[in-house]
Amino acid sequence: MSKTTKGFKVFTHDFRPPVQGGEPVWDGTLPYVLPEVKVDESQRDCAAGWNFAREAHVALRIAGLWPTGRPSRLFSVETSGAVLERGEKLRTASLTILHEASAEEIAAAIVAFSTVFAPHADWMVAEQLEWRAALGRPARDVGVIEAGLLVALEARGLSSWKLCRFESARDAWDARAAWDARAAWDAWDARAAWDARAALTLGFASRQGWVKHDALLFTRGIREAYSNGLEVAVPTSPNELGWAMAE
């Protein structure tokens, strides 16, 4: 009798590989049997084959909580085929995707891998959950987005900047590319105020006493803006922060 190996695998919000990217792996129907592929039998941790992890918190830690700027999705998987174990990763020729993890299961996984943040683990868990919720863009409110961006600018000493709304994220990025925004980009992006990972990094460092900044400096305003539909905010001309809503 074949042994069944159970584990967890992470995809992007639209079912793409979270690390390598590419086309959607499947359409989201469950259960789903992934097609058989050739397995690299070398000692490399990451190689050809369907990669997954035994534990949910390991899968999320490796793939990321928001690799594309949207919350990643965690699924329970199993295989009865041969499994290679390399470090914390497993790989096999085929996997069956069984079901998507619940919000409670994801929270438990985040708790599990956040023990490394002691003595601030509880704070880090709460902040990561808040960021996942915000990056899901659960609401759409232009007024709240603009108010949040103004709060974020003021917190970073950029209150003289104005806001400019673009029709799409591509338009905002094109405006940024057409202008040599290096100095302005340094003022905004070097602090990566809109980036959840940077916000969490600063928050932990502040609570540890490694830096003197407010622990929520990179969170104030911007997380509320994301929660209400912000897609991107980038410098687009002198003293101007361009932004666009999620489509």
The reported pLDDT for the residue numbered 84 is 86
The reported pLDDT for the residue numbered 195 is 78
CA 168 to chain centre: 21
The reported pLDDT for the residue numbered 28 is 94
Q: From 32, 35, 50, select the one nearest 89 (Cα to Cα).
A: 50
Structure token digits, residue 98: 């069984």
Structure token digits, residue 168: 């799409």
Q: From 95, 88, 5, 92, select the one nearest 45 (Cα to Cα).
A: 88
* Residues 241/146, Cβ–Cβ less than 8 Å: no
Structure token digits, residue 224: 């509320």
Name the pairing type of β-strands 240-245 and 162-165.
Answer: parallel
Regions of the chain where pLDDT drops below 70: 1-2, 180-194
The reported pLDDT for the residue numbered 192 is 34
The DSSP code sequence of 169-219 is: HHHHHHHHHHS--HHHHHHHHTTTTT-HHHHHHHHHHHHHTSS-S-TTTTT
To the nearest whole number, what is the mean pLDDT of the chain? Answer: 91
Name the pairing type of β-strands 73-79 and 96-100.
Answer: antiparallel
* Residues 45/51, Cβ–Cβ less than 8 Å: no
